[in-house]
Amino acid sequence: MTPAARAVADTDWHLGRLYAFAREMGALVIQATHSRYVIDLNRPPDGQSLYPGQTTTGLCPAETFRGEALYPPGAEPGEAERAERLTRYWRPYHDALAAELERLRGLHGQVLLWEAHSIASVLPRLFEGRLPDLNIGTNGGASCAPAVH
């Protein structure tokens, strides 16, 4: 990997500490164990863009949020490596998440999933202006009911 990749600047370094209170309150926390440079758990398994028509990073990113290469030219993960990462990292994480949501729905009837990750506040390559400190959204109504928002 490149020096920019080894700096792992786009990693969610402090989420465990930031959300320690949630565990203390009895909430379940499922936390990624690998950098989004391995595979981005916030992307769909087919790698479809979260922001069609905009610059974005992929399921197995080849560049940082700032556009710096993660791999030397020609060393980017190929199709077989991306499939392996999907099987080894993405699928178990999402299977565990789905199973826990189903278990909690069975107990409580409804569940609120709080998905937290970090990103730099200013990334002109990806977003205009400064990003909000907390972005509570509905993904156009697809991720939660407007009443929750």
Range ranked top by mean pLDDT from 22-31, 44-53, 68-77, 130-139: 68-77
pLDDT of 33-83, one tens digit each?
888 999 999 889 998 887 788 888 889 999 999 999 999 999 999 999 999
Q: 112 pLDDT band (50/70/90 cuts)?
A: confident
Q: Distance between the two ends of the chain, CA-based, in angstroms? A: 39
Residue 34 lies in a domain: yes
Number of domains in the chain: 1
More confident position, 139 or 99: 99
What percentage of the chain carries pLDDT values higher than 90?
Answer: 46
In a domain? residue 83: yes
Does residue 95 form part of some domain? yes
The token duo for 8 is 């792992």
- The answer to whether residue 93 is domain-embedded is yes
Please give, one letter per residue, the 3-state secondary structure of 2-56. Answer: CHHHHCCCCCCCCHHHHCHHHHHCCCCCCCCCCCCCCCCCCCCCCCCCCCCCCCC
pLDDT band at 29 (very low <50, low <70, confident <90, very high): confident
Q: Identify whether 21 is part of a domain.
A: yes
Q: Which of 58, 51, 70 is nearest to 9 (CA)?
A: 70
Give a yes or no: residue 108 inside a domain.
Answer: yes
DSSP state of 148: T
Domain that holds residue 78: 3-141
Residue 147 included in any domain: no
The answer to whether residue 146 is domain-embedded is no
pLDDT score, position 149: 62
